[in-house]
Structure 1
């Protein structure tokens, strides 16, 4: 059995590879990356490094040759649904038997615009005939880098999420859950809602203040003020729309899904967020 991870040089993919290498021989692992030079460190460990470009389907078919299990890490950008479908088509044609896909919490019912591509990709994978597992990740605490840096600079943590709850967990825990389903049996055609303990933004900010020993003020604003702040920071309009819509979706409960699936896959409780918070506080 050979396992392949897409996006293996990214934040999540690299953590998945680190965990897999603890128990799986490097010769049984492969990665598909756009730029193979960025995966030289994996090649040096004996991992099979393959060039695969989501915008060039022919490269994906070659990259997936001889692969049994695949982790499809969702891409970013405006064309990811087409990219995901190209990867699924290539996997089916290459004879991949099992696809694990990193989706979003409550994908089928979520009203967040961010969920649209995930919902479509889940449906496409189901229709492919391959076995699958959907890892519906809640929110990475690392997504809150901006708020944490604001607090460290004595500014308020600006948000538009109201008193809604989010199941933040460390990216490392989501990665370890992905490694578990790739190396264990019994996960075929399962859906896992992965989340840490539910907290509000104000509660997370208070935890940040406690961990870092600083005052953590929060400032709740409306969607328009939040969007204006993103524009002032220089974000392109596409991302302004995505991030502002996500604040609204969170406010309306899109990420307030309690579940012990992450703990069950990890075989332990999700790690406290202290370590990730300290790491994000580094310059």
Structure 2
């Protein structure tokens, strides 16, 4: 069934979307390349694996998937220990307050995705899906202003806390994919102008994240190339579009996006 903006603008759906969207060069290395110690996977829903299915019931609302890239990497490389604390909806302050417990002087590898929720990803996508184009673009401008002015400091706090707790760790900060293939042929509730602006916002977020990661001596893993040809509207999507039956997985990587998009980038960065 094709949904129009008119049918989408109901109060109940708006509430559901607002909650559910919350984010909720080196050659590949083998396990011996990891510093002595274990692997700790931090971050938001892109790291916990929302959208990939196969959730660990013990993870509750954090929705940690058994096929998320951290679990896939740990399975392939057998680190001495593996702690998976990434959680759907996490912001930078959530990572600092609740995810860093497993880190220690012997931690060898840390991976993280964070920043999308701080920048208001949930509200941006809800606005763009349910409101006119002008409202979408205005909300994206607000997000861009936040990314440029406030987010760098928030990221610095997270990265400094990781370094303090795990000074010997190799830290890989992974970015976010562009959501849309421009000029693609698909039934989307968004205009090409909106899709273009959303992709530019992802690039802006990745640019700031990469800059701050480098400032702390961390490695940035850019996933945009890995997802090229697999965006929404590509015909071979590794990302969910808006899902009216299961809104929580909207705009998140599929299981193939975790294994074919994120996993190789982490592996090559270690």
Structure with more strand by fraction: 1
Q: TM-score, normalised by structure 2?
A: 0.42
Q: TM-score, normalised by structure 1?
A: 0.40
Higher relative contact order (CA 8 A, sep 6+): 2
